[in-house]
Structure 1
Amino acid sequence: MDQLPTVQPHSPIMAVLTEIEYESGMEPSFGSIHDFCLELQELFTSSGWFFYVFSLKGVTKDGITGLYRDGSRWTKSKMPFPDIVYNRIHSRRSESSQIFIDFVEKMNEASIPVFNRRFLNKWEVHQWLNSRKNLQRFLPESCVYSRNSLQRMAASHEVLFLKPVNGSRGRDIMRIQSQDSTCDVSLSSRNGIESLNTCQKEDLPAILKRYLKKQLYLLQQGLPLLKMDNRSVDFRILCNRSSKYDWRVTSTVARLSAQGHFAANLAAGGDTIHPLRVLRHFFGEAQSTSKLDMIRELALEAANCTADSSEELFGELGIDVGVDDNGHPWIIEVNSKPSKNDHIGKSSCRPSAKAILEYAQILLSETNPPEKGGSR
């Protein structure tokens, strides 16, 4: 481990908490956000900040060990406490670990903001959004799964989805398709849609019991969303805070599911294309721009509602919006750890990286930083 890095007096300190992979003879890797961290490093250092990346393995009672950029390489060193922490841990299990809980508590005690501190729960988000009258008509009917809720929802909808409330990346989602007296049950897996069972409607609860894990599930109305080449389409709208209270859209992409998958998720092999290309295909040139504006406005409403309803600090949220055959938009999901692999464009520094810097500056101005950055 190298000696302590030199931090200029009065320089604020920004740190990203994520997973770090080390391989012998190789540069450390930050996984799916590696390039994004390089962009952040350039932005923050050019703006007078000291920037580093660390993992939970680098957190001890004595302090933090992390990586800072020294010329063209990442150098491991003991680090000063940061002024701001951006949480990009990708594991719910890690976020529920005692070391993470203790770290956040220590940051709270030192008045060091940790933003995007946790994953979101699908049911709590639905309740928040559903509490806003102006958003209710953009939400698919949803409830917590039970035998009674299944019976009620199956009587109203031919297609239902079962989603783990703490699920991510489109995994372990079940689809129930009803026709006359029978039901087809299938599962979204890494390899595509896996047919699980065909059964009589009255046997459905018993069949599902075989496959459901010991966790809470969201039961949701299936929607006739747009498809291109038999691939599901949705829109990922990345929203970032532009001030203490307001949000702005920093990027919008359309996502196509991999062949044979329910969800348009990039982790499952999906693709991104320009949103207007999709909208023009279905609604023509005249309506495509207004449809895109509506999708973005809806995403901003969802981001504001989520941030206002939660007690957590959120600097960015990814909103997934689907559009049905009639052009009506639907809020599918709100993500607190949005993917950084769906960037469209040739810019060396994406707008969302600049937005993280702006939000960190907002937080810094609110927390009355010490005379010397990081010396808490």
Structure 2
Amino acid sequence: MGQPALGILTLYLNESKALEERSVYEKMIAAGKRLGMTVFVFTPQDVDDENDQINAMFFQPETKKWSRRLVRFPNLIYDRCRIQKSYRFQQLLSFRKRYSHLQFLNRPLRNKWTVYRTLSKVSSIRPYLPVTRLYQSPEDVQFMLNRFSTLYLKPINGTGGRGILRIERGRDGKLLLQGRNHSRTIVQPRLISKNGLASALAHWDKHGDRYIVQQGLNIKLPDGRVHDYRMLVQKNGSGQWEVTGCAGRIGLHRSITSNLHGGGEAATMNSLLRRWIGNEGEIRRIRATAENFGVAVARHLEESYDALCELALDLAIDRNGRIWLIEVNPKPSREVFKLAGERDVYRKAIIRPIEYGLWLYHQK
């Protein structure tokens, strides 16, 4: 019997057939070779439906070169496709529907609003969730501003900090708007009156996205930069959920988000908590609570939806040491650990889907 095969399903970024995470895929293919699993990369465009073949991309670690080869469908599929507004994403949806009977390590997770509603029904998880409301009209923002001085308006399907608007209510009643547009560019802050809110929101929503309105949290460091934490929870080689690592992210000056793609920087969780909390005993308590919480969220979402193999939880920790779940990302990047200097965690994050895939293959 030959080696089991894992196909990494992704999308091309443009017509030159560029791959966003090529260096990560190279490391995964090399890891698969060491562990006894054939790993290749493909997109829906590479699938020949009539002949049940894939014109797959293979990487040779020894020569550092990529090549293509016609292969049969893999035993397991690891779906890395993120939402994009293109015909390629429509091809992906067709592929998922046509080949839903195949063994996927991870199925699509729902949007931010649906995930929030799912988690808010769990009494042990609810206290960790910022108050969130589906945006349907400017009245939803006004209603939330009556409760909270800071709000975030977020696309329900957005990633990487795109299209996020922060609204802060000043003591004089004026509203400060700051954000990042859909290209992640920082938008110049501006003050508006309450009466100008509806017009400002209509201008922000020109892409026709659906949004949520979320309670803002006090996560500004003394220098004014916002910070949060990226926790990676993955299935291990025994099929169990486990926290692989958690690292801090610090946003650019004047940025309302901490995303690394938007220019943020990474730090170890402990070093950032020492700047924010200080007390070592409290830091240990926060870390333990966060890890237990992360595993609980992963288990519940898998029970509620379908197969998952990893999730990233974006966490905020306020001045009182309270943990908040900002959002859940089903297609997490690993780069934060490398940038924070945690190379062992970075390597583990890359290898774990292979180890879990091997376990799942032998179970089946």
TM-score, with normalisation over the residues of structure 2?
0.88
Distance 1:225 1:77 in 2: 49
Instruction: Give yes or no for contact 1:251–1:351 (8 Å, CA) kept in 2.
Output: no
TM-score scaled to structure 1, two decimals? 0.85
Residue 365 to residue 278, structure 1, CA distance change in 2 (3 Å): same
Please show how residues 176-187 of structure 1 align to structure 2 within 5 Å: 176-179=167-170, 180-187=172-179
Percent identical residues: 26
Cross-structure match for 2:223 = 229
1:364 deviates by 1.6
CA-to-aligned-CA distance 1:91-131 (integer Å, 9 cap, x gap)? 3336984432332234333xx21233435411011111111
One-letter amino acid of the structure 2 residue matched with residue 116 of structure 1: N
Indicate the residue corresponding to 1:362 in structure 2. 359
Shift of residue 308, structure 1, vs aligned partner: 1.8
Q: Per-residue deviation at 1:207?
A: 3.1
- Mapped contact 1:104–1:114 kept (Cα < 8 A): no
Residue correspondence of structure 1 range 1-376 to structure 2 within 5 A: 9-19=1-11, 30-31=19-20, 33-61=21-49, 62=51, 63-70=53-60, 71-72=62-63, 73-93=65-85, 97-109=89-101, 112-118=102-108, 120-145=110-135, 146-179=137-170, 180-189=172-181, 190-195=184-189, 197-213=190-206, 214-227=208-221, 229-242=223-236, 246-284=240-278, 285-310=280-305, 312-344=306-338, 345-347=342-344, 350-367=347-364
Name the aligned partner's letter for residue 352 of structure 1: A
Does the aligned pair in 2 maintain the 1:95–1:101 contact within 8 Å? no
Distance in 1, Cα, partners of 2:205 & 2:71: 44
2: CA distance, partners of 1:69 / 1:207: 48
- Give CA deviations for 1:110-164 in whole Å, capped at 9, x if unaligned: xx21233435411011111111111111111101013442232111111111101
Aligned equivalents of 1:245, 1:347: Cα separation in 2: 20
Q: How far 1:319 moved relative to its partner?
A: 0.4
CA distance in 1, matches of 2:129, 2:104: 30
Post-superposition offset of 1:289 = 1.9
Residue identity opposite 1:181 in structure 2: G
- Is contact 1:144-1:217 (8 Å) kept? yes
Would the alpha carbon gap of residues 22 and 153 (structure 1) be closer, same or farther in structure 2, given more than 3 Å must change? closer
Displacement of 1:278: 1.1
Checking the alignment, whether the CA contact within 8 Å between 2:239 and 2:359 is kept in structure 1 is no
Secondary structure of 1:351's partner?
helix
| CA separation of 1:153 and 1:363: change in aligned 2, threshold 3 A | same
Aligned counterparts of 1:258 and 1:116: Cα–Cα separation in 2: 33
SS at match of 1:342: helix
1:370 corresponds in structure 2 to none
| Shift in Å, 1:244 | 8.1
Question: Do the aligned residues in 2 keep the contact of 1:226 with 1:323 (CA within 8 Å)?
Answer: no
Larger RCO (CA under 8 A, 6+ residues apart): 1
Amino acid at match of 2:96: V
CA-to-partner distance for each residue in 1:244-287, whole Å, 9 max, x for gaps?
87411011111111221111101101111111001122322332
Residues 30 and 348 of structure 1, relative CA distance in 2, 3 Å threshold: farther
Unaligned runs of 5+ in 1: 1-8, 368-376
Aligned partners of 1:120 and 1:336 also within 8 Å: no
Question: 2:114 is matched by which residue type in structure 1?
Answer: E
Does structure 1 retain, via aligned residues, the 8 Å contact 2:155–2:163?
Answer: yes
Cα distance in structure 1, aligned partners of 2:86 and 2:7: 18
Once residues 303 and 218 of structure 1 are traced to their aligned partners in structure 2, the CA distance between those partners, rounded to angstroms, is: 22
The answer on whether the counterparts of 2:334 and 2:349 sit within 8 Å (CA) in structure 1 is no
Aligned mates of 1:95, 1:293 — CA distance in 2: 43
- Aligned partners of 2:334 and 2:346 also within 8 Å: no
Judged with a 3 Å threshold, the aligned counterparts in structure 2 of structure 1 residues 20 and 157 are, in CA distance, closer, same or farther, namely closer
Partner amino acid, structure 1, of 2:219: L
Q: Aligned partners of 1:331, 1:198: CA distance in 2, in Å?
A: 29
Deviates more, 1:272-281 or 1:11-20: 11-20
Residues 317-349 of structure 1, C-alpha deviations (whole Å, 9 max, x = no match)? 000000112111100010011112212323497
User: For 1:37, what is the secondary structure of its paired residue?
Assistant: helix
